[in-house]
Amino acid sequence: MAIATINPATGETVKTFTATDDTGVRALIGKAHTQWLSYRHSAFEERASYMRRSADIFESEADQAAKLMTTEMGKTLKSARAEALKCVRGMRYYADHAAELLADEVLANAADVGASKALARYQPLGPVLAVMPWNFPMWQVMRFAAPALMAGNVGLLKHASNVPQCALFLEDVFRRGGFPEGCFQTLLIGSRQVEQVLRDPRVVAATLTGSEPAGRSVASICGDEVKHTVMELGGSDAFVVMPSADIDEAVATAVTARTQNNGQSCIAAKRFIVHTDIYETFSAKFVSQVEALKVGDPFDPSTDVGPLATAQGRVEIEELVNDARDHGASVLCGGRRLDGPGWYYAPTVVTGITRDARLYLEEAFGPVASLYRASDIDECLQIANATPFGLGSNAWTNDGAEQERFIAELEAGQVFINGMTVSLPELPFGGIKRSGYGRELSAHGIREFCNLKTVWIK
Ligand code: NAP
C-alpha cells in the first residue's frame, strides 16, 4: 500500500511519501535505543513537563490536527476536533498520574517473606513498536504513546499508510514539547517492513490496533521472538435493548453509536438486539433517524456522516450487505453506495440476517447496523455472544437484576449499561476472544510495557 494522503471525500491524491528503506529503519531504531538508555533514568517530573508542554502545543493546534485527520481519513471535522482534544486530555491524565500509577508496591509485612523490605517496582522495558490504524488516527496513537513515554519507554510508530501526515504531526508535537530526540519517532514504512522492526533485538515489545489478520501476523512474529504484545483488534459488539429502557434515549444513542466516525469504530455498536415487546417501536424510530442523517462533505459542520476512509473499505461493506441480501436479509434503509466522487455509502439498517450470511459473524466496518429481534433476556444474551469478537457491549435496561445478568454474562472486555461504549483515560480498554488481549489506558495500560521487578532485601 502506497504511503499517501488520499482525500476520501474526493478520491484525490493530495501528497505522497517515500517509504524509509531498511537501512534507514535500522538507523531510527538505533536512535530510539540510544535515547532510551538515558531516557529511562529520567524522573517522572521531567517526563511530565515534556508531556504537559506537548499537550499545550496540541491543544493550541487542535484545528490544524483536525483538518489533517479529516483530509486523510474523512471523519467529520467536528469529530476530528473532539479527537484532538481527547488526546490532550489523555496526555494530561498520564502527566498527572503516571508517578502514582507506577509507584512501588511495598509488601506491608516483609517479615512474612523473610525480608526487612519487599516490594514490586515498575520499570520501563525499552523501545516499543506501535502498529496503528487510521480510524482514530491520533487518539489510537496517543493512548499508547502517552502512557509509554510517561513510563520511561520510547516509541516507534508504524502508522497506517493512509495517514502519514497525522503520524508526522504527532512526532512533531512530542519533539516540540521537549521530548529528547529519538523518544517518539514515526517510521514511514509499509506493513511488509514491520517484521524487520519486530525481529530487531533492540525493539522489546509491540502493540497493534487493527484487523485480525494484521494482529495475527504481528503476534506470531513476536511469539517467535518471545516479545510482549498487546492486541486491540476488531469488534462486532452488541447493543441490547430491553423493555424497561428509555427507548428514545436508546434509539438516539444507537444511531450515534453505529454511525460515529462514519461507522468505522472498533467499539461501535454493530448488532442491535431488541426485545420483541419493543422491537417495532425501536425499529421504526431507529430506521427513521438513520435515514435522516446528513451524508456529505466531512468539512461541512452540518454533516453527520462522511465518506468511508478507503475505496477498498467501501467495497468490503458493499459485499457484506449484498451477501446478507442474497441470503434473505431485508435492507430497511440505505444499502447502496452514493453517486459522485468520494467513497460514500448510505447509512444502512439490515434485518432478518440468517446465520449463513457473512454479516452474522463478520465485523461491518462502515455505517451498517444489523437489527435482531429476541424473545427474552436469554435469547438476547445468546445472540449477543454469538460472535467471535468481544470488545465493548452495551445493554439498555432499568431493571437491576437484568443489569447484573448483562454485566455477568456478556462476553466482552467492557460492558456499558444505558450508555455508549467509549474509551477514557481513567478506564481500562481492551477485548477478549478475537478482539485481542492486553489493556490500554488507566493503570493497566501504563503497566503493560513495564518490567514488574520484585525486590527482596534481607
Ligand atoms: P489493518 O489493515 O489491520 O491496519 C492496521 C495497521 O496494521 C496499519 O498500520 C497497517 O499498515 C498494519 N498492517 C496491516 N497488515 C499488517 C501485517 N500483515 N503486518 C504488520 N502490519 C500490518 O486495519 P484497518 O482495516 O486499517 O483498521 C480496521 C480494523 O481495526 C477493524 O477491524 C477495527 O475494528 C480495528 N480496530 C480495533 C481497535 C481496538 O481498539 N480494538 C481500534 C480501532 C480499530 P498499512 O496501512 O500499511 O497496511
Q: Which amino acid is at 216?
A: R
Identify whether the C-beta of residue 94 lies closer than 8 Å to the C-beta of residue 177: no
What pLDDT sits at residue 121?
Answer: 98
Ligand 1 pocket member 1 (CB < 6 A): yes
Based on the residue annotation, tell me whether 266 is a catalytic residue of this protein. yes
16, 156, 211, best to mutate for ligand 1 pocket (most atoms within 8 Å of CB): 211
| Cα 335 → chain centroid | 26
What pLDDT sits at residue 453?
Answer: 98
3-state class (DSSP) for residue 228: strand
Element (H, E) at 453: strand 450-457
The rounded Å distance from CA 211 to ligand 1 centre is 4
For residue 136, the ligand 1 atom closest to its alpha carbon is: 43
pLDDT, one tens digit for every residue, the chain (458 residues): 799 999 999 999 999 999 999 999 999 999 999 999 999 999 999 999 999 999 999 999 999 999 999 999 999 999 999 999 999 999 999 999 999 999 999 999 999 999 999 999 999 999 999 999 999 999 999 999 999 999 999 999 999 999 999 999 999 999 999 999 999 999 999 999 999 999 999 999 999 999 999 999 999 999 999 999 999 999 999 999 999 999 999 999 999 999 999 999 999 999 999 999 999 999 999 999 999 999 999 999 999 999 999 999 999 999 999 999 999 999 999 999 999 899 999 999 999 999 999 999 999 999 999 999 999 999 999 999 999 999 999 999 999 999 999 999 999 999 999 999 999 999 999 999 999 999 999 999 999 999 999 999 99
The residues, any chain, with a CB within 8 Å of residue 26's CB and separated by 6 or more, are: 196, 200
Identify whether the C-beta of residue 127 lies closer than 8 Å to the C-beta of residue 40: no
Could you tell me the strand order of the sheet in which 330-333 lies? 330-333, 348-351, 368-374, 269-275, 237-241, 392-396, 414-417
Ligand 1 pocket member 166 (CB < 6 A): no
Ligand 1 pocket member 430 (CB < 6 A): no
Grid cell for residue 374: 429476541
Q: For each of the domains in the chain, give its residue range(s) and CATH number, in order of start.
A: 4-233+435-457 (3.40.605.10), 237-424 (3.40.309.10)
Q: What is the C-alpha separation between 131 and 79, in angstroms, rounded?
A: 23
The rounded Å distance from CA 219 to ligand 1 centre is 13
16, 162, 209, best to mutate for ligand 1 pocket (most atoms within 8 Å of CB): 209
Nearest CA to ligand 1 atom 18: 214
3-state class (DSSP) for residue 437: strand
Question: Which entry of 232, 318, 363, 402 is annotated as an active-site residue?
Answer: 232
The rounded Å distance from CA 134 to ligand 1 centre is 8
| Residue that has been written with the C-alpha cell 502545543 in this structure | 57
What pLDDT sits at residue 1?
Answer: 78
Q: What is the C-alpha separation between 149 and 189, in angstroms, rounded?
A: 22
Question: Which entry of 87, 183, 266, 380 is annotated as an active-site residue?
Answer: 266
Element (H, E) at 241: strand 237-241
Ligand 1 pocket member 234 (CB < 6 A): yes
The pTM of this model reads 0.97
For residue 431, the ligand 1 atom closest to its alpha carbon is: 41
Identify whether the C-beta of residue 365 lies closer than 8 Å to the C-beta of residue 404: no
The rounded Å distance from CA 183 to ligand 1 centre is 23
Identify whether the C-beta of residue 365 lies closer than 8 Å to the C-beta of residue 267: no
The rounded Å distance from CA 92 to ligand 1 centre is 27
Identify whether the C-beta of residue 184 lies closer than 8 Å to the C-beta of residue 170: yes
Based on the residue annotation, tell me whether 166 is a catalytic residue of this protein. no
